Amino acid sequence: MKKDYLGTWDRCMDVIKEHVNTQTLKTWFEPIKAVKLEGDILTIEVPNQFFYEWLEENFLNVLRLAIVEVLGKNGRLEYRFKVEKNNATNTAPASTSDQLEDNISPQDIQNPFVIPGIKRVKVNPQLNLAYRLSNYIEGDCNSLARSAGKAIADRPGETAFNPLFIYGEVGLGKTHLAQAIGNEVLSKFPNKSVLYVSTEKFTNQLIQSIKNGSVTDFTNFYQLVDVLIVDDIQFLANKKKTQEIFFNIFNHLKQCGKQIILTSDCPPNEMQGVQDRLLSRFKWGLEADISRPDLETRIAIMEAKMSKENIQVPREVSNFICTHVKNNIRELEGVLIQLIAQATLNQREIDMDLAKEVIKRVNNKDNKEITVDLIKEMVAEFFGIDVEKLGSKTRKQDIATARHLSIYFSKEYTKNSLKNIGKYFGGRDHSTILHSCKTVKDRMDTDRAFKDTVASLQQKMQLSLL
């Protein structure tokens, strides 16, 4: 009987060898031991629960193919693994209800960042080149995260900081640091593939791949990345399918020694709606928090940004502004933009009087709001077209672009529902509104000039609150 199950597994291994590479065979199949054969049911022993889950989610088709070829159509596979808590042995049957795939060879890998009609040979890292470690001001609030980032940039995937889980409140510089690490890696290792993606974009790409029947291609694409940076990972909450796919990608990258960097507004142990197996993996590396910067760090950040703009600010003005702006870096940047705008437009020096005026406006800005009508007027003026044409049915390129942008900003800057936004643009339905927003986001990923246009309009929106 012993000879039967050992021989059966040896024949299965012969089949498996034809469909996986040497490293995969050594890592995931050689540790398996056959322990029992009863009729058409072969039982194998795997090291642990994680090993079992990985086989189920990544190599089930290969195993299925081997079992059917060796034991026939009625062949079944069961796993046995040891539970560490009580050293008991459990058996977990492998699913055999899914139809066996005739061809398990990987298809040509498709890049989910490619917009239909636009070919891209090399993956765009999606990084903002302005984000650098050199201009990321270090303070007590972020020293651990920045130091870990520097170590990762020197040896991506080879430190104990994998994954690097950066968390903190909104506007404290998590995205800046994460992208700065990516830029530093690219500067030191030009041949490495680095990719930054928001969790929202990742989810939208997955949904599209499901519609297109290309989930395998989607997964394969992400598994080829050397450094994967995922922003706002907390938005995986309650997205079961997205969590499953990301789990597979995470495990593959980790197993292959690739670097993973995640950002979140809270630590793993406070995340809700995320599977425990994912949360446990988020804790494998380093959890580094970024807290609110102290006064000295805020002053250093402000002076660095003003120096970049070649603007001199008296120290008393810096102290005054940073004393009154305490919440986050984003709010401080907003004050600086308004300070520069006021000084430039009104040809005034940046002094205490101007600083006090700006701080007062900031404190009162909650009473102001951007409306859809205001957005339409700004965009129409920018493109030199009549506002009425934004609600027309014409598909003329400049008008269509202006319409897409107006809809995009209406969704971003107002609290109107998609249905209400549609009413402002000729009664368009919610799906059309979503399509316009997606069109803008996709084009920003591939068209630098268009991205600059969006940035210019965003600045106009902010200045409108002055």
| CATH code for the domain of 427 | 1.10.1750.10
345, 367, 389 - which closes a domain: 367
Question: What number is the average pLDDT over the span 326-352?
Answer: 75
Q: Do residues 283 and 141 both lie within one domain?
A: yes
- Give the sign of the dihedral formed by CA 393, CA 395, CA 397, CA 402: positive
User: Is residue 329 within 8 Å of 142, Cβ to Cβ?
Assistant: no
What pLDDT digit, counting tens, does each position of 180-209 carry? Answer: 999 999 999 988 999 999 998 898 888 888
| SS3 label, residue 280 | helix
In this predicted model, which residue has the larger pLDDT, 46 or 98?
A: 46
Please write the tens of the pLDDT for every residue from 409-428. 988 888 778 888 988 898 88
Instruction: Examine the fold and report which residue of 312, 346, 367 is the final residue of a domain before the chain moves on.
Output: 367
For residue 28, being part of any structural domain is answered with yes
CA atoms within 13 A on the CB side of 19: 22
Flag whether pLDDT at 116 surpasses 90.
no
Name the nearest CA neighbour of 289 among 267, 260, 259: 267
Query: Which SS3 state, helix, strand or coil, does residue 342 take?
Result: helix
- CB 465, CB 358: distance < 8 Å: no
Domain shared by 49 and 17, yes or no: yes
117 inside domain: no
Closest CA to 33 of 8, 50, 57: 8
pTM over 0.85: no
β-partners of residue 44 are 34, 79
Task: Judge whether 100 lies within some domain.
Answer: no
For 292-362, strand residue ranges (E) read: none
111 in any annotated domain: no
CB 338 within 8 A of CB 362: yes
Indicate if 194 and 253 belong to the same structural domain: yes
Looking at residue 320, what is its pLDDT?
A: 81
Same domain, yes or no, for 267 and 143? yes
- Provide the percentage of residues in the chain whose pLDDT is more than 70: 85
Which pLDDT does position 465 carry in this prediction?
Answer: 57
Q: Is residue 312 predicted with pLDDT exceeding 50?
A: yes
Of 359, 391, 375, whose CA–CA distance to 458 is shortest? 375
Domain boundary among 41, 70, 93: 93
- DSSP strands (E only) in 97-245: 164-168, 194-198, 227-231
Does the residue 120 lie in any domain?
no
Domain containing residue 360: CATH number:
1.10.8.60
Same domain, 356 and 387: no
Q: pLDDT tens for residues 248-288?
A: 999 999 988 899 999 998 889 888 888 999 999 998 888 98
Which range marks the domain in which residue 405 is found?
372-463
Triad 33, 35, 40: Cα angle to 5° = 110
- 46: nearest Cα among 286, 173, 434, 54: 54
Residue 185: predicted pLDDT:
94
Is 115:260 a contact under the CB 8 Å cutoff?
A: no
CA distances from 85 to 49, 89, 115, 399 (A): 12, 11, 49, 65
Same domain as 258, residue 167: yes
Split into its structural domains, the chain has a count of 4
Same structural domain, 377 and 346: no
Asked if the structure places residue 110 within a domain, the reply is: no
Residue with tokens 């040509």: 108
Could you tell me the two tokens for 393? 């049915």
Instruction: Please give the span between the terminal C-alpha atoms of the chain, in angstroms, as a whole number.
Output: 84
For 386, the 3-state DSSP assignment is coil
Check whether residue 156 and residue 198 sit in a common domain: yes
Q: 363: which residues sit within 8 A by CB, 6+ positions away? A: none
- Which of 216, 152, 138 shows the shortest CA–CA distance to 189? 152
